Chains A and B, each alone.
Chain A
Amino acid sequence: MKLLSSFKKELILVSRSFYFYVELGFALVILAVLLLAVPENFSTTATQYLYLDLPQAAKEMYVDTVLESEPGIESEMVEIEADGKMYDAQLITTDEEEIYIVDSEEAVRKLAYDKQNPGAVVGLDDNNQLNFKYYLQGYESTRLKNLISIMFNKDIGMLEEQIGSQEVRYLTTGFEPVSDRENTIPPIISFSSGLMGMFILASYIFLDKKEEVIKAYAVTASSVWQYLMSKIFVVSLTSVISGLIITMPVMGFRINYGLVLLLLLTTGFFSSSLGLLISSFYNDLMKAFGVIYLLMILFMVPAIAYFIPGWDPFWIKLIPTYPLMQGFKEIILSSGNIAYPLYASAGFLAGGIVLFAVTNIRFKKTLSV
């Protein structure tokens, strides 16, 4: 009852504060950006420059093969500039790449250097076999360079035939990828709701410390844990509302909102408890700034693994935002694994309870630092 009363009071206070409206305004601005400025899918075409040092018939055959390999491939004559000089090129645009076929090796070299994209020269050796010269930047990994150096040791036609007949077995079927716009939601929610919960709650406590509200609690009938929990409820509620403002218009009713709520609430609880724990060690935000800031940066690192699924070292899985982002990803995927967000929520709840218990002990002992 006292907890409910504290929660109500906090709600009234927060509804009058600038922060609450900034939070909601921020969610609305993100939503507007997502819907109006972020394209459904990002443009991720790779560019390369090619010089075919081959007889005219072979050049034409190569271009025809590329143009006929898929429907919708376009070709046009363009001029492209590198190092202050213009070069004529035939631009072939596919869904995944832009190939500029130029008239000299010099053009490939200049373009590859100036535009920082790979270039290649295809010629014939003494035995009339195709040979390849690649222009790379230098930072490409050794493994990638190894592959490039032997990729065309086999006859291209035979290679394509063998790759085509290579058996692939899939463990799951019916996977429908999400659009790039939808894919940006998990990291945004993680930073906006999860991360900021820690920062905001710590700021709340420091404000109360400054105004000596915490000490006033010592002479009330309410216990410290109720005071702390009411703060957590308010911050979690704010993150839930802002999270839903961003998620609902983009995802519609295609996802399980029960799971979204569960994950938002448990992560809100976890990050707020972490913010509380930090605030129990310092007197004001300025002193706690370093710890909070370092944690915020650390929590952002899993976003790299999120966008580069091939890079997933073990240590990154230990950072709490990793299961948070991946849990959201599972929720927005049509064929997502429901167990993952459930486990993640259970983990956040358990972690939050431990952090809260430790914080409660610290606050009970000191009432302040």
Chain B
Amino acid sequence: MLKRILNIFARDLKINSREFITLYMMIIPLVMAVGINFISPGINDTTVNLALVEDENPGQADYFDDFAHIELFEDRQEVEDRVMARDDVVGVLPEGGGYYILAQGNELESIVEYAKLLNVLYESDVQLEDARSEIIEFGRTVPPLKKRLVNMLLLLISMLAGMLIAMNILEEKMDKTVSAINVTPASRSAFILGKGFTGMFIAVVSSIACILITGFYDINIGQAALVIFSTTILSLIIGFLQGLNSNDIMEAAGSVKLLFLPLGGSVAGYEFVAEKWQAFFWWSPFYWAYKANDNILSKSGTWPQLLLYIGIILVICGVVYALLAPRIARKLQ
């Protein structure tokens, strides 16, 4: 049995490597991981953007530069034009010996308040050297946004695995080889597992590579691999069913789009929805996977907690499989 599963897996891997699809699926997440490394420092450094008139008060520009992003413009009109642009930039302009804040009117209140505070501190000559506060840091270097992006990337990888499985099945269908499996010594379960192995293997390898590229060296890789593995089981079931249900690539493409919904919804629900409404997302295995990954990436998860989340994912996968098994069996006839 195991040998036959491995044969199907090896055959799929060989075919996929000829199509470059496996390579794409392994490389794309890595490129995205590098992209996350590239953009997250800039996003994390965002406080407030100030527009000033160049050479009007170089000392003020230097002072503000310690607390905010500064852009310098030739005259007031240019500052005004910049403030009116689409992003949130606030101007600080001189008048009658003092300075006023120039805002577009659609900025967040906190941005204008930040600019007001900075100007007051500058006008009061409060210098960094006179700081009276002590800052103690816990030494965490990964900003929360980066953690979220990596977490989303991990879910996306497991979905990609589902897509790959769907496409592999579709290829078998188009080559009219699905029914031929019935006359080979390989059982139906061996066929399903063998077909699923490629996606699962790629998902686990790519996910671990992405975790390392994005700098999460000190998390528990074993815990992460367990969560990835459990999420991929769901992708396997869905991918398999999509492949069997679709008659051509168009239909498979449409189905893949449907998968984005529970994934995106679960992430948005976990991040943005108040605690009392979280129960609305408990049905989604992606929700539990995101929650489990969040704990792992924050290094705040305990084994019992994690095993509970993985258990929930597996139970949901089991229910989905139990519901879909007759359909899969019928389609394999």
Taking Cβ atoms with an 8 Å cutoff, the residues of A that contact B are: 17-19, 22-23, 25-26, 29-30, 33, 37-39, 42-44, 109, 112-114, 116, 125, 129, 131-139, 141-154, 159, 162-163, 166-175, 177, 180, 184, 191, 196, 199-200, 203-204, 206-207, 210, 284-287, 289-290, 293-294, 297, 301, 304-305, 308-313, 326, 333, 335, 340
Contact = CB atoms under 8 A, between A and B. Distances in A.
Contacts of A129: 132
B249 to A, nearest CB: 5
Given A139-B44, A146-B67, A203 B249 contact: yes
A96 B288 CA distance: 27
B322 interface: no
B24 A293 contact: yes
Contacts of B119: 166
B113 interface: yes
B300 A116 contact: yes
A49 B69 CA distance: 28
Nearest to B118: A147
Contacts, number: 256
Contacts of A134: 133-136
A135 B249 contact: no
B135 A159 contact: no
Given A149-B128, A285-B249, A310 B111 contact: yes
Nearest to B152: A300
27 contacts: A17-B250, A19-B250, A19-B251, A22-B257, A23-B257, A25-B258, A33-B265, A37-B273, A116-B300, A129-B132, A139-B142, A146-B128, A148-B133, A149-B135, A169-B100, A169-B103, A171-B102, A203-B249, A210-B249, A285-B167, A286-B20, A286-B21, A290-B24, A297-B32, A301-B39, A311-B43, A312-B86
Contacts of A206: 249
Nearest to A316: B39
Contact of A37 (B142, B143, B269): B269
Nearest to B280: A37
Nearest to B43: A311
A335 B83 CA distance: 16
B277 interface: yes
Nearest to B127: A150
A329 to B, nearest CB: 9
Contact of A26 (B42, B137, B261): B261
A131 to B, nearest CB: 5
A152 B120 CA distance: 12
B117 A163 contact: yes
B24 A18 contact: no
Contacts of B167: 285-286
Given A133-B133, A138-B137, A171 B87 contact: no
A335 B104 CA distance: 12
B158 interface: no
In the complex, the 10 A-B pairs of residues with the closest C-beta atoms, listed nearest first: A312-B87, A22-B254, A290-B24, A43-B274, A149-B131, A42-B272, A138-B137, A172-B105, A170-B105, A132-B133
A163 B141 CA distance: 33
Contacts of A294: 28, 31
B247 to A, nearest CB: 8
Contacts of B219: none
B172 interface: no
B116 A168 contact: yes
Contacts of A39: 273-274, 277
Interface stretch (B46-54, B198-206, B325-333): B46-54
Interface in B34-64: 35, 39, 42-49
Interface string B194-235: 000000000000000000000000000000000000000000
Contacts of A109: 136
Interface in B100-114: 100-108, 111-114
A25 B258 CA distance: 9
A249 B283 CA distance: 26
B86 A326 contact: yes
Contacts of A180: 272
B130 A290 contact: no
B55 to A, nearest CB: 22
Residue picked from A290, A311, A340, most chain B C-beta under 10 Å: A311
Given A22-B254, A151-B117, A154-B124, A310 B87 contact: yes
B132 A143 contact: no
Contacts of A340: 86
Nearest to A298: B35
A168 B100 contact: yes
Given A147-B67, A171-B80, A290 B28 contact: yes
Nearest to A326: B86
B253 A172 contact: no
A126 to B, nearest CB: 12
A134 B136 CA distance: 6
Nearest to B299: A116
Given A109-B136, A310-B111, 11 more contacts: A132-B133, A138-B141, A143-B67, A154-B126, A162-B124, A167-B100, A203-B253, A294-B31, A297-B28, A301-B35, A309-B108
Contacts of B118: 147
Contacts of A33: 261, 265
Contact of A113 (B48, B102, B138, B249): B138
B274 A153 contact: no
A223 B262 CA distance: 42
Residue picked from A30, A33, A133, A148, most chain B C-beta under 10 Å: A33
A308 B84 CA distance: 17
